[in-house]
Amino acid sequence: MKASSVYVDNISRDATKPFLLDVHYAGRMPSVSFSYGLFVDGRLEGVVTYGTPPSAPLRSGICGPDHSANVLELNRLCLLSNNKNDASRLVAASLKLIPRNRIVVSFADTEQGHVGTVYQAANFIYCGLSAKRTDWKVKGKEHLHGQTIADEFRGVKNRAQAMRDKYGDDFYLKPRPRKHRYVMFVGSKGFVRKAKAALRYEVLEYPKISDV
């Protein structure tokens, strides 16, 4: 039997978009700076994307303001079949393709029962749970991501008040499930050494499924 041809390569936004909107559970497009695909026998079977985190406090909070410009978020990982080792193969290969001297952060969604097994397989550093936050919600639109709701009034001064004015009592705040936070340093030995030394989070043991 002929062995399958498996490789990871850059892909276009047009190729990425259907995976993020139609396959990934979040169903929305994040900020995407770099996108890579897992190809099996020429078929695109999965994508991983990286982008600049929209939160300035997150960018500067990992290793301090001096390293904030180096931060990338691995913000989507999505596969059609999710065969064994496909996810870890895609992540590991994509880390070799992104620009050098980057601090990569990613989050595993506890609400989806994820603990970040793929990041553990790729030797990411585990830095505990994300901070407690709330999401904007509108009754009848609970399926929409909180950021999607907030984007309705992007650029408007006092967006929260604008939401209340439009939706009244249907607008509410919902506690956001905390996520497992992982960090990876990619680049020259000198950069990795300095960035690791500047890490502001405590390095902890990997969580397991039973810990959730």
Considering its fold, how many domains does the chain have in total? 2
57 and 106 inside one domain: yes
90 in Cβ contact with 79 (< 8 Å) = yes
pLDDT digits (tens, 9 = 90+) for 143-201: 676 777 777 878 888 888 888 888 888 888 877 778 999 999 999 999 999 999 999 99
Q: What confidence score (pLDDT) does residue 143 get?
A: 65
Structure tokens at 179: 């996520």
96 in Cβ contact with 44 (< 8 Å) = no
In a domain, 46, yes or no: yes
Q: What confidence score (pLDDT) does residue 38 get?
A: 96
In a domain, 110, yes or no: yes
What order of strands is seen across the sheet that includes strand 102-109?
A: 6-10, 34-40, 43-51, 71-79, 102-109, 179-186, 125-129
119 and 171 inside one domain: no
172 and 182 inside one domain: no
Q: Phi/psi class of residue 155: alpha, beta or left (left: φ > 0; alpha: ψ in -120 to 50)?
A: left
Q: Which among 187, 30, 208 is positioned nearest to 106, based on CA atoms?
A: 30
154 and 188 inside one domain: no
203 and 109 inside one domain: yes
26 and 117 inside one domain: yes
User: pLDDT-derived band of residue 2, with 50, 70 and 90 as boundaries?
Assistant: low
In a domain, 1, yes or no: no
142 and 189 inside one domain: no
Q: Which structural domain range is residue 26 located in? A: 6-131+178-211
Q: What counts of helices (H) and strands (E) characterise the chain?
A: 7, 9
Distance CA(20)–CA(110), nearest Å, equals 19
48 and 151 inside one domain: no
152 and 190 inside one domain: no
Distance CA(63)–CA(58), nearest Å, equals 10
Q: What confidence score (pLDDT) does residue 139 get?
A: 86
28 and 61 inside one domain: yes
Question: Which stretches of the chain are assigned E, i.e. beta strand?
Answer: 6-10, 34-40, 43-51, 71-79, 102-109, 125-129, 133-138, 171-176, 179-186
pLDDT digits (tens, 9 = 90+) for 99-123: 999 999 999 988 777 899 999 999 9
200 and 121 inside one domain: yes
Distance CA(168)–CA(148), nearest Å, equals 18
Q: Tokens 């585990």 identify what position?
A: 126
For residues 116 and 140, the model is more confident at 116
CATH code of residue 116: 3.40.630.30
192 and 90 inside one domain: yes
In a domain, 99, yes or no: yes
Distance CA(183)–CA(84), nearest Å, equals 23
In a domain, 127, yes or no: yes
| pTM confidence score | 0.80
